[in-house]
Structure 1
Amino acid sequence: MKIVVIGGGAAGLGVAGAAKGQDPSVETVVYTEFEDVAYSPCGIPFVHGKEIDSFERLFLATKEQYVQQGIDVHYETTVESIDLKSKSIQVKGEGWVTYDRLVLATGWDYATPDVPGTDLEGIYHVKNIRAAMEWDKYLDTVRQAVVVESGPIAMEMVSALRHRGIEVTLVDPGPWPMADVIDPDIVEPVRADWEADGVDLRFNEKVTGFVGKGGKLTHATTSFGDVPCQLAVIGSHKVANAGLARAAGIKLGSTGGIAVDPQMRTSDPHVYAAGDCAEIPHGVSNVPLQGLSGSHAYAQGKTAGINAAGGRRTHNPVYVPWGMLAGQWMIGGVSFGETLATALGLPFVTGVANGITRARYYPGVKPITVKLLVDPRSRRLIGAQMVGGEGIKERADFLGIVARTGVPIDTLATMENVYSPAIGALNEPIAMAAQAAVAKL
């Protein structure tokens, strides 16, 4: 059997590795338009900010290791079209290539603002690691930068640019950072720290264009006036890179991502899709989602690879535990906050607790706020949001399982927790927040 994969990110390499694990005799061929595969784009802002000392640390494996695993990767190669009837793809420079199973892992693109001047030198989309290496040198020449919208990577880039001593103006049409995901009370410590660090925060405003001289960016035009800058970081939301699928007649979903079943199979029985190009149902609302994290993409790729190679695996609806570092704060959660749950018309009761991450007397103790959203009828957790100095990732993972398995809020309110001065306080903030929700119920 020959499995062809289009895309070399977390999903694409997850497909190839899982297919080989399921059936070592399977021939796996990966096509990518980039110079590399399987690196972490999420780590790029931290190299720019000097927290990580080298871009090389972001690579998961060497090219030789993929050869040793029997995975044939075609770098800097463009797939131009798909012919479902003949089960073949047209590859630039190679002609038509046949497959037994095809997996689309074509990833995502930024929703680039539809404004003049986006072709100027100085407009930066944080994604490709080789381009980032060149941009890192360019940052040494930048005095002023504009960050356009506060998507997750853009949030990290604000801090990275400030670490480099660059003046930053954040322009966002929302009323607060990541307003479509995070509640204002949870993100407020981040906003306050940015303001104290000299970031010019412009919410409820828009970039209307980019202006340059000699092909180089000199300033951005905005709804509040001109902003001098030599760099503009595009931080808009992800859109599915589904053009090949659309042109081939493969069904797309409501998000613009490729529609798949629980086995990651598309509308064509010989074609699978995984990662940011696909859409997955949410476990609470059943609303399709697209553009999740690298861990989601990798898990989807493994499911698609196992099934394409003759195995049987089901990908569950997602509850989306998430987390990130923004300045000195960790923020994260599960599924919905109040803003999004209200927009979707979901009934909920909240429980909020302010706690600490270690014993109050132990060095390095950090504050943490936990907000839980509970369905008042089923008494199940439907969402959570958190902000703190540490411990957000582990709590988000735990609460993701709580939401997925339907643990009642009453059980969460009486949960056992580790108490050790160096790693955990006497009162667990999750339990405290659950108790607050139970009191309301």
Structure 2
Amino acid sequence: MKIVVIGGGAAGLGAAGAAKGQDPSAQVVVYTEYEDVAYSPCGIPFVHGREIESFEKLFLATKEQYVAQGIDVHYETTVESIDTRSKTIKVRGEGEVGYDKLVLATGWNYDTPDIPGAELGGIYHVKNIRAAMEWDRRLDDVRSAVVVESGPIAMEMVSALRHRDIEVTLVDPGPWPMADVIDPDIVEPVRKDWEEAGVSLKFGEHVTAFNGTDTLTHVSTSFGDLPAEIAVIGSHKVPNSALAQSAGIKLGSTGGVVVGPELRTSDPDVYAAGDCAEIPHGVSNVPLQGLSGSHAYAQGKTAGINAAGGTRTHNPVYVPWGMLAGSWMIGGVSFGETLATALGLPFVTGVANGITRARYYPGVKPITVKLLADPSTRRLIGAQMVGGEGIKERADFLGIVARTGITVDTLATMENVYSPAIGALNEPIAMAAQALVAKL
């Protein structure tokens, strides 16, 4: 059995390791266009911001460890095409390579705005770790930067650049940060935090041109020109699915590869996982693409196990998420009010302002929890939160609540840990659920 994996990110290495675990005798070969595999792009902004001391901390394993596992990784290698009829791929410099099963883990690209001057030096797409190392050295001499749109990594880069004493202007066409994901009341503390830190926020505006001779010197916008030595692109992730499309593998409405529960594509010998694939949402059944690294890794493991002869299914997703933005943590599950309204989903909300520890314990921080429930089934369909701590754990828990169909009535009477150092007497989730039940 020869299993070929295209892509060396979380999904690709997850698939390779899972395939080898399922069938130790399988020949597993990974092709990646980059110099490295299995590192965390999500950690790059925190190295830039000096919260993490070095880029080496972001690597999950050494190249020697993959060799020891029996995984043959081909670095800096381009796969040019796939022929599903002959079950071969064409690799630049290697020619045609056969496979028994193929896993596509080709990841994502930025939805780069079509802006004149985009080819200039000084325009930074935060993704590749080797490029990030070079950019990090450059940041020592940068005085001004423009962040173009407020995607998740860009949200973190705003704070990272300010930590380096760089003047930052955020230009975003939306009315508030990450407007397609976060509700304005939830992100408002982050916006205020950025303003207090000296970030210039330009919402409802657009970058119209990057200017300079060989490298960026200033940015033209819908409100005027800005001096800028670098521009950080923070646009949405789009699936890197061109290779699949050219092979005749079916794509879906997001542009990602269509997969079934076993992550098999329209070709029975080809699987897809991670940001190049689209996965149905558990509430709306709308296909989603471009989720988190944990989603990519879990999908990769499912694809790898099945490619190696096992049987595993991947559930629809409810998307618990969280991130650090400024001095605040924000997060949630599935929908907020903005997105639920856009999708035409009926909902009722309950909001509570609470605290993360006992009020008298040092370090106590505020937290706001907003819950959305379907008024007929009373099941949780979404949540949004902002606070000083404790967002990740609550998002994980509420993701299971949405997935298993627990009602807000049950949440309203939930048990919770009370310990002054780690939890307040009144759990904010229960308080939000009580407010929601009162409305119902």
Q: Deviations over 1:377-405 (max 9, x none)?
A: 00000000000000000000000000000
Match in the other structure for 1:243: 242
Match in the other structure for 1:405: 404
Match in the other structure for 2:352: 353
Match in the other structure for 2:314: 315
Equivalence map 1:101-116=2 (5 Å): 101-116=101-116
| Inter-partner Cα distance in structure 2 for 1:293 and 1:209 | 31
Q: Per the alignment, in what secondary structure is the counterpart of residue 355 of structure 1?
A: strand
Amino acid across the alignment from 2:366 = P
| Inter-partner Cα distance in structure 2 for 1:194 and 1:409 | 34
Match in the other structure for 1:78: 78
Q: Per the alignment, in what secondary structure is the counterpart of residue 435 of structure 1?
A: helix
Amino acid across the alignment from 1:228 = P
| Inter-partner Cα distance in structure 2 for 1:428 and 1:103 | 43
Match in the other structure for 1:203: 203
Q: Per the alignment, in what secondary structure is the counterpart of residue 168 of structure 1?
A: strand
| Inter-partner Cα distance in structure 2 for 1:167 and 1:115 | 22
Equivalence map 1:276-425=2 (5 Å): 276-425=275-424
Q: Deviations over 1:67-118 (max 9, x none)?
A: 0000000000000000010000000000000000000000000011101001
| Inter-partner Cα distance in structure 1 for 2:113 and 2:137 | 25
| Inter-partner Cα distance in structure 2 for 1:244 and 1:259 | 14
| Inter-partner Cα distance in structure 2 for 1:73 and 1:23 | 18
Q: Deviations over 1:120-143 (max 9, x none)?
A: 110000000000000001111110
Equivalence map 1:265-276=2 (5 Å): 265-276=264-275
Q: Per the alignment, in what secondary structure is the counterpart of residue 19 of structure 1?
A: helix
Q: Deviations over 1:134-178 (max 9, x none)?
A: 000111111000000000000000000000000000000000000
Match in the other structure for 2:2: 2
**Unpaired segments ≥5 residues, structure 2:** none
Match in the other structure for 1:20: 20
Q: Per the alignment, in what secondary structure is the counterpart of residue 116 of structure 1?
A: coil
Amino acid across the alignment from 1:98 = G
| Inter-partner Cα distance in structure 2 for 1:17 and 1:83 | 25
| Inter-partner Cα distance in structure 2 for 1:203 and 1:29 | 46
Amino acid across the alignment from 2:89 = I
Amino acid across the alignment from 1:7 = G
Match in the other structure for 2:41: 41
TM-score (norm 1): 1.00
| Inter-partner Cα distance in structure 1 for 2:195 and 2:407 | 39
**Structure 1 residue 360: Cα displacement:** 0.2
Amino acid across the alignment from 2:135 = W
Aligned length, in residue pairs = 440
Match in the other structure for 1:434: 433
Q: Per the alignment, in what secondary structure is the counterpart of residue 261 of structure 1?
A: coil
Amino acid across the alignment from 1:342 = T
| Inter-partner Cα distance in structure 2 for 1:290 and 1:193 | 30
| Inter-partner Cα distance in structure 1 for 2:26 and 2:327 | 47
| Inter-partner Cα distance in structure 1 for 2:115 and 2:174 | 18
Q: Per the alignment, in what secondary structure is the counterpart of residue 11 of structure 2?
A: helix
Equivalence map 1:155-170=2 (5 Å): 155-170=155-170
**Structure 1 residue 28: Cα displacement:** 0.2
| Inter-partner Cα distance in structure 1 for 2:98 and 2:430 | 55
| Inter-partner Cα distance in structure 1 for 2:55 and 2:67 | 22
**Structure 1 residue 203: Cα displacement:** 0.1
Match in the other structure for 2:99: 99
Q: Deviations over 1:203-226 (max 9, x none)?
A: 00000110013x010011000000
Match in the other structure for 1:124: 124
**Unpaired segments ≥5 residues, structure 1:** none
Amino acid across the alignment from 2:13 = L
| Inter-partner Cα distance in structure 1 for 2:407 and 2:144 | 50
State the Cα RMSD in Å: 0.3
| Inter-partner Cα distance in structure 2 for 1:287 and 1:225 | 39
TM-score (norm 2): 1.00
Identity over aligned residues, as a percent? 85
| Inter-partner Cα distance in structure 2 for 1:202 and 1:253 | 34
Amino acid across the alignment from 1:15 = A
Amino acid across the alignment from 1:166 = I
| Inter-partner Cα distance in structure 2 for 1:216 and 1:344 | 42
Match in the other structure for 1:183: 183
